[in-house]
Amino acid sequence: MGVDVRREDVRREDVRGDDRQGVPLRRAALLAVFALSSALAAVATIVPSTDAELLLAKVAVPEPVAIRLDEALLPAPSTFVREDRLQRGDTYQGLFARLAIGESDAQLLLRQRSLRSLRPGTIVTAEVRSGKDHEGELVWLGFLAARDVSVRIERVGQGLVASEQRAQIVTRSVLKSAVIRSSLFAASDAAGIPDAVAIQLADVFGSDIDFHRELRQGDRFSVLYEMHWVDGRPLRAGQVLAAEFTNQGRRYRALRYADNYYAADGRNMRKALLRSPLELTRVSSGFGMRMHPLHKAWRVHQGVDYAAPAGTRVRAVGDGIVEFAGRHGGYGNLVIIRHDSRVATFYAHLKAFGRGIRASTRVAQGDTVGLVGQTGWATGPHLHYEFRVAGAARNPLSVPLPAGTPVARHDMDAFRARAQGLGAQLDLLANSQVAALE
């Protein structure tokens, strides 16, 4: 009996042990069932409604609102402002008609002396009354005349009174870039850069880049320049402040300081003498032997011919004194400038001489010495240009040119401070271009 009792106790202990092990399992099972039912309930709550339920929810209920048309309509304006451009060959009467100015006020305007300063191409703005009783009555008329003078003609009583004052010009800096496809001007036009800026670029980099022969497709440039505005409208371009030009893989950078242009190290970008007396043109006849177009014989051509329209400005390539200005045989109208004891330059076939150009006159680099023509032995309008050293003709396109004066040593700190700011703006545009290419 004792043995049986112990076995029974053992069985009871085993059962209790099994019950204790099963409790956690049952609890885990219950938790799993609870979690599953919660997930199903959550899914059930986001099941979309039927199309009918959505349609009922979106049905708009119209509500009538009383609108009085006499209060809802805006009154007709008592005046309106128009602007138009005076075209070449245009008449004042035609301009006034396009501005809807009445005949009586048009006659009053024609008596205004200030109207004489109105030139073709000028934009004219006018405010004119409307309405049955005042149709075409002028309130004021204004335009920008020469020398940045703002002209305004206003109604005072039954008459018109004119006033003139200096226009309020706002100057902003503009940063742009372009890629050469065919020419400098074509690239500038495509990028919206004014021609005046392109001319300055050719002048600034003209000592390092021969824009007649060395420009290549794929060359690129960036330029920071001034733009003058009047009444929210662009007026004209100002000075180039900084520029960078990449020509055939060679990069040149110019920074404006004290009315001149220098490289980042203070070196003068402009040589003491310019490479070309014309800003932008093409070489029609080079230096050396050629068949003379008039004499029909081989002769030495001691200069370079630049093809350009008659009347194109011819500039002095450097500072100097006019040695001769007048008619000289086959040269036609000729100007000779002595730059130093050895170097002289010749400008031939001129249509006319620059203002004040005569013997013993002192000229500065860039001054106008004359206008392109075809006087003397010339078959068409062009400039014949010679570069002579100690009386001997040298090729103007390849002769070494003396360097200009660099930044003075005592100005270097101020120059570096300005150059850093201008260069940072050019770098910003260059980095944005690299990012765009990547």
175-189 per-position pLDDT tens digit: 999 999 988 999 999
Q: What is the mean pLDDT of the chain?
A: 83
336-366 per-position pLDDT tens digit: 999 999 999 999 999 999 999 999 999 999 9
pTM of the model: 0.66
Q: Is 168-271+404-438 the same fold as 79-166?
A: yes
**Per-residue pLDDT for 1 more than 50?**
no
**Per-residue pLDDT for 431 more than 60?**
yes
**Per-residue pLDDT for 171 more than 50?**
yes
296-346 per-position pLDDT tens digit: 554 666 788 888 889 999 999 999 999 999 999 999 999 999 999 999 999
Architecture of domain 282-394: Distorted Sandwich (2.70)
191-229 per-position pLDDT tens digit: 999 999 998 998 899 888 878 778 999 999 999 999 999
If we measure between CA atoms, which residue out of 274, 300, 275 comes closest to residue 286?
Answer: 300
Strand partners, 179: 220
Mean pLDDT of 413-433: 87
Percent of the chain at pLDDT above 70? 78
| DSSP string across 133-174 | TTTT-EEEEEEEEGGGEEEEEEEETTEEEEEEEE--EEEEEE
Residue 209, pLDDT score: 86
Q: Give residue limits of the domains in the chain.
A: 79-166, 168-271+404-438, 282-394
Residue 380, pLDDT score: 86
If we measure between CA atoms, which residue out of 176, 180, 115, 109 comes closest to residue 145?
Answer: 115
Confidence at 239, pLDDT banded by 50, 70, 90 = very high
Compute the distance between CA of residue 200 and CA of residue 206 in angstroms, rounded to an integer: 9
Confidence at 293, pLDDT banded by 50, 70, 90 = low
Are the CB atoms for 129 and 112 separated by under 8 Å?
A: no
**Per-residue pLDDT for 6 more than 60?**
no
Residue 50, pLDDT score: 59
Mean pLDDT of 418-424: 94
Confidence at 428, pLDDT banded by 50, 70, 90 = confident
Residue 23, pLDDT score: 47
Residue 272, pLDDT score: 87
Are the CB atoms for 418 and 214 separated by under 8 Å?
A: no
Give 79-166's CATH code, choosing from 3.40.50.150, 3.30.930.10, 3.10.450.350, 3.40.50.20: 3.10.450.350
Residue 136, pLDDT score: 92
Confidence at 15, pLDDT banded by 50, 70, 90 = very low
Q: Tokens representing 207?
A: 């000592």
44-83 per-position pLDDT tens digit: 444 455 555 555 555 667 778 777 776 767 777 889 999 9
Residue 48, pLDDT score: 53
Residue 18, pLDDT score: 47
Mean pLDDT of 119-137: 91
Residue 4, pLDDT score: 47
Task: Provide the phi-psi class of 208: left if phi over 0, else alpha when psi is between -120 and 50, else beta.
Answer: alpha
Architecture of domain 168-271+404-438: Roll (3.10)
Residue 247, pLDDT score: 95
78-103 per-position pLDDT tens digit: 899 999 999 999 999 999 999 999 99
Compute the distance between CA of residue 407 and CA of residue 404 in angstroms, rounded to an integer: 10
